[in-house]
Amino acid sequence: MVQFRNTRRAFIRSATQKISLLALGSQAIPALAEELEPVEELLPPEGILLEQPLAKEQIIAAKKLGIALVGLGGYAGGQLAPALQETEHCYLAGIVTGTPQKAADWKTKYNIPDKNIYNYENFDQIIDNKDIDIVYVVLPNAMHCEYVIRAAKAGKHVICEKPMAITVEECDRMIAACKDAGKMLSIGYRLHFEPYNQEMMRLGTKKIFGEIKTIEAHDGMGDTNGWRLDKKLAGGGPLMDVGIYCVQGCRYTTGLEPIAVTAVEGPKTKPEKFKDVEESLDWTLEFPGGIKAHCKTSYTKNMNLLQANAEKGWFKLSPAYPYRGQQGETSEGKMNFPSVNQQARQMDDFALAILEGRATPVPGEMGRQDVKILQAIYKAMETKKRVEIV
């Protein structure tokens, strides 16, 4: 055995430098492969005796990436910040808000240093902050594009809440900005990390019950308010908010992309409230192989279902899309999976993707495809015609 005399500070500094290189993404990994396995130059704290050099996995496990939340609304405060108290590979490092009182409250609650608190005017100064590795954009839909691009230009990896943007053109700009900066872009599709929805993916794509024939996907809420009723900020009504879960559910259950859509806007029971956006919407997605998905969304009716009907049986989740409490069943019996913190698993996976130099399973391209489908649904609703999705 060899006794290393280097100090703890030198050890941590060296390890952090290696991990920072890993965070550059997959392009950096080939050049580092020989250097990191084993990493003989990384020395342990003073006085520690090691028989074996540190493995790459041990270096990754020693690093937690800092996340800054941009926009401190209900989702950031009610779900993401609490989830970041449970994550293993990332932590709440900073915040961006235009409300001084929120900044003060969050600083106290989460012990955030002043240097990691930004507003929308000085946001670009985040480029100089080494504590922050990831920026999570949790703003109204119409603001996603601007802040994803600014975050990428500031040298940060980015998570963007769904829907990714309100137009495909915006999505293209966001993807290009992150690629140009050499940074990863992920969309906040938490259900890809939730066991019941993962089982729907498995049952459908592995054809456990044979070929899928039809899908029912419904998601609605009894009421809403604020920016979600402003088309300029939201890009639309419930389709852009909860309806996107139906689109996602159909895509990941079949493993296929829709080829056409028809859609009908529901009646407005509150025309003054919903003067800018739809109150409800029904649409049918056509998939290859003759599969049809019948979907519904609403801002005045609670709904929560994802069901696939196949040749040899059926499988469903009800509820399917909430933050917790999913319940599942198949034609052969109940599903039984543990409850998890979806947001914690989502953010941890992105941090690991950065550290390991692998792709995120929910990239910007997935978000772009959803926006393309959403736009096709609105076109079908407005024209009252079948619209092909190409």
* DSSP line for 253-277: HHT----EEEEEEPP-SSTTTTSSS
Task: Classify the C-alpha dihedral 330-367-77-354 as positive or negative.
Answer: positive
Percent of the chain's residues with pLDDT above 90: 84
Q: How would residue 154 be classed by pLDDT, with cut points 50, 70 and 90?
A: very high
Q: What is the residue whose two structure tokens read 């919407």? A: 281
List the structure tokens of 320: 């399917």
C-alpha dihedral (22, 28, 33, 38), degrees to nearest 10: -30
Domain boundaries for CATH 3.30.360.10 within the chain: 195-339+363-388
- Asked whether the whole model's pTM tops 0.95, one would answer no
User: Which among 147, 245, 299, 321 is annotated as catalytic?
Assistant: 245
- What pLDDT, on the 0 to 100 scale, is given for residue 58? 65
Distance of CA 204 to the CA centre of its chain: 22
Mapped onto helix, strand or coil, the DSSP state of residue 28 is coil
Check if the beta carbon of residue 56 is closer than 8 Å to that of residue 32. Answer: no
In the structure, what pLDDT confidence band is assigned to residue 52 with cuts at 50, 70 and 90? Answer: low
299 is catalytic: no
Indicate the pairing of strand 157-160 with strand 185-187.
parallel
- Is 90:84 a contact under the CB 8 Å cutoff? yes
User: What integer pLDDT is reported at residue 23 of this predicted model?
Assistant: 39
Where in the sequence of the chain do the CATH 3.40.50.720 domains occur? 65-189
40 confidence band (pLDDT: 50, 70, 90): very low
Q: Give the right CATH number for 195-339+363-388 from 3.30.360.10, 3.30.2350.10, 3.10.105.10, 1.10.8.80.
A: 3.30.360.10
Mean pLDDT confidence for 284-309: 98
67: CB partners within 8 A, 6+ apart: 84, 90, 91, 92, 93, 94, 132, 133, 134, 135, 136, 159, 347, 351
User: Which helix or strand (DSSP H or E) is residue 49 part of?
Assistant: strand 49-50
Q: What pLDDT is attached to residue 260?
A: 98
Architecture of domain 65-189: 3-Layer(aba) Sandwich (3.40)
Q: What is the pLDDT of residue 251?
A: 98
Mean pLDDT, residues 143-170 taken together: 98
231 close to 273: Cβ distance less than 8 angstroms: no
* Known active-site residue 245: yes
| Token representation of residue 166 | 């309100």
Amino acid at 251: R
Q: What share of the chain is helix, strand, coil (3-state, %, to 5)?
A: 40, 20, 35
Q: Is the distance from CB of 105 to CB of 78 less than 8 angstroms?
A: no
Q: Look-up: residue for tokens 């899928």?
A: 212
| Angle at 16 (CA atoms; ends 88, 117), nearest 5 degrees | 65
Looking at 18, 63, 156, 162, which residue is catalytic? 162
**Tens of pLDDT along 178-206?**
999 999 999 999 999 999 999 999 999 99
Q: How many CB atoms lie within 10 A of CB 78?
A: 11
- Residue 78, C-beta contacts closer than 8 angstroms, at least 6 positions apart: none
Identify any residues that bridge with 90 across adjacent strands, giving them in sequence order. Answer: 65
Q: Pseudo-torsion of CA 234, 235, 238, 244, nearest 10°?
A: -110
